[in-house]
Structure 1
Amino acid sequence: MEFKGRAADLDLLTRQVGLVTEGAGATRGQAVTVTGRRRVGKSRLVQEFCDRSGLPYVVFQATRGRHAVAERVDFTAALAQSTLPGGELVAGLQAADWNQALRSLALAIPDDAPSVVVIDEVPWLVEQDAEFEGALQTVWDRHLSAKPVLLILVGSDMSVMEALQSYGRPFFGRAAKMTVQPLHLADVQAMTGLGAADAVDALLLTGGFPEIVQSWRPGMDRTDFLREAVANPLSPLLVAGELALLGEFPEASHSRAVLEAVGSGERTFSAIAAQAGGTGALPSGTLSPLLNTLQAKRILTADLPLSAKADSKNKRYRIADPYLRFWLAFLRRGIPLIERGRGDLALERIERSWTTWRGRAVEPIIRESLLRLLPDGRWPETEAIGGWWNRRNNPEIDLIGADREPVAGAVHFIGSVKWQESQPFGRREYDALVRDMLAVPGAEPGTPLVAVSRCGAAADLPLAAHWGPEDLVRAWQ
Structure 2
Amino acid sequence: MTGPFPDWETALRFVTRIAEREPLLVVIDEAPRLNSAAGDFGDLVSAVWENHVRDQSLMLVLSGSAVAVMEEMLGPRGGLHRRPSVELRMDPFSFADAAAFLPELNGESFLQAYAACGGYPLHLRRWSTDLTVEENLAEMAFSPGGLLVRDAPDILSEDLDWRGGYERVLVAMSGGARRRSRIAGRAQQRIDYTLDRLRKAGHVRQVRSIGAGAAGDPMYEIGDDYLAFWFSVLRDDADLIEGEQGQPVRYRTTGTWHKHIGRVLESAARDHARRMVSAGELPPDAVVGRWWRDEVAEIDVCAVGADENPVLVGECKWQTSAFSHRDLADLRRKAALVDDHGSAPLFAFWSRRGADELASAYDDVRSYTCDDLLAR
TM over 0.5: yes
Alignment-derived partner of residue 185 in structure 1: 95
> 1:424-464: per-residue Cα shift (whole Å, max 9, x none)?
33312111011121212656352332222222112323435
Asked whether the 8 Å contact 2:16–2:58 carries over to 1, the reply is: no
Alpha-carbon distance, 1:299 to partner = 0.7
> How does 1:171-320 map onto structure 2 within 5 Å?
171=80, 172-186=82-96, 188-192=98-102, 193-251=104-162, 253-277=164-188, 282=189, 286-308=190-212, 311-312=215-216, 314-320=217-223
Alignment-derived partner of residue 465 in structure 1: 366
Alignment-derived partner of residue 321 in structure 2: 423
SS of equivalent residue, structure 2 residue 348: strand
Alignment-derived partner of residue 388 in structure 1: 291
Alignment-derived partner of residue 139 in structure 1: 48
> 1:339-368: per-residue Cα shift (whole Å, max 9, x none)?
221111111123233333322232222212
Asked whether the 8 Å contact 1:303–1:317 carries over to 2, the reply is: yes
CA–CA separation in structure 1 for the residues paired with 2:234 and 2:164:
19
> Within the alignment, does 1:105 sit opposite 2:9 as a pair?
no
User: Which sections of structure 2, spanning at least 5 residues, go unmatched?
Assistant: none
Asked whether the 8 Å contact 2:65–2:158 carries over to 1, the reply is: no
Alpha-carbon distance, 1:304 to partner = 0.6
Asked whether the 8 Å contact 1:411–1:443 carries over to 2, the reply is: yes
SS of equivalent residue, structure 1 residue 146: coil
CA–CA separation in structure 1 for the residues paired with 2:271 and 2:281:
18
CA–CA separation in structure 1 for the residues paired with 2:269 and 2:54:
43
CA–CA separation in structure 2 for the residues paired with 1:443 and 1:213:
46
Asked whether the 8 Å contact 2:142–2:149 carries over to 1, the reply is: no
Alpha-carbon distance, 1:257 to partner = 0.9
> Within the alignment, does 1:349 sit opposite 2:260 as a pair?
no
Alpha-carbon distance, 1:473 to partner = 0.8
Normalization by structure 2: what TM-score? 0.89
SS of equivalent residue, structure 1 residue 214: helix
> 1:70-129: per-residue Cα shift (whole Å, max 9, x none)?
xxx33xx2xxxxxxxxxxxxx2x434xx5444223323x343333221122223334544
Compared with structure 1, are the counterparts of its residues 446 and 185 closer, same or farther at alpha carbon in structure 2 (3 Å cutoff)? Answer: closer
CA–CA separation in structure 2 for the residues paired with 1:116 and 1:446:
56
CA–CA separation in structure 2 for the residues paired with 1:289 and 1:432:
40
Asked whether the 8 Å contact 1:375–1:382 carries over to 2, the reply is: no
The amino acid of 1:177's aligned partner reads E
Compared with structure 1, are the counterparts of its residues 243 and 170 closer, same or farther at alpha carbon in structure 2 (3 Å cutoff)? Answer: closer
Compared with structure 1, are the counterparts of its residues 158 and 246 closer, same or farther at alpha carbon in structure 2 (3 Å cutoff)? Answer: closer
Asked whether the 8 Å contact 1:367–1:386 carries over to 2, the reply is: yes
> Within the alignment, does 1:322 sit opposite 2:225 as a pair?
yes
Compared with structure 1, are the counterparts of its residues 455 and 296 closer, same or farther at alpha carbon in structure 2 (3 Å cutoff)? Answer: same
Alpha-carbon distance, 1:141 to partner = 3.5
Alignment-derived partner of residue 350 in structure 2: 452
CA–CA separation in structure 2 for the residues paired with 1:374 and 1:188:
21
CA–CA separation in structure 2 for the residues paired with 1:127 and 1:142:
22
The amino acid of 1:106's aligned partner reads T
Alignment-derived partner of residue 154 in structure 1: 63
Alignment-derived partner of residue 41 in structure 1: none
Alpha-carbon distance, 1:310 to partner = 6.9
CA–CA separation in structure 1 for the residues paired with 2:153 and 2:76:
34
Alpha-carbon distance, 1:131 to partner = 4.9
SS of equivalent residue, structure 1 residue 374: helix
Equivalent pairs counted in the alignment come to 371
1:124 aligned to 24, 33, 38, which one?
A: 33
Alpha-carbon distance, 1:274 to partner = 1.7
SS of equivalent residue, structure 2 residue 27: strand
Asked whether the 8 Å contact 1:196–1:469 carries over to 2, the reply is: yes
Asked whether the 8 Å contact 2:350–2:368 carries over to 1, the reply is: yes
Which 10-residue stretch deviates more, 322-331 or 259-268? 259-268
Identity of aligned residues (%): 25
SS of equivalent residue, structure 2 residue 212: coil
Which 10-residue stretch deviates more, 441-450 or 371-380? 441-450
CA–CA separation in structure 1 for the residues paired with 2:10 and 2:19:
18
Asked whether the 8 Å contact 1:399–1:417 carries over to 2, the reply is: yes
> 1:190-219: per-residue Cα shift (whole Å, max 9, x none)?
444211121111111100212211221114
Compared with structure 1, are the counterparts of its residues 296 and 309 closer, same or farther at alpha carbon in structure 2 (3 Å cutoff)? Answer: farther
SS of equivalent residue, structure 1 residue 449: strand
SS of equivalent residue, structure 1 residue 155: coil
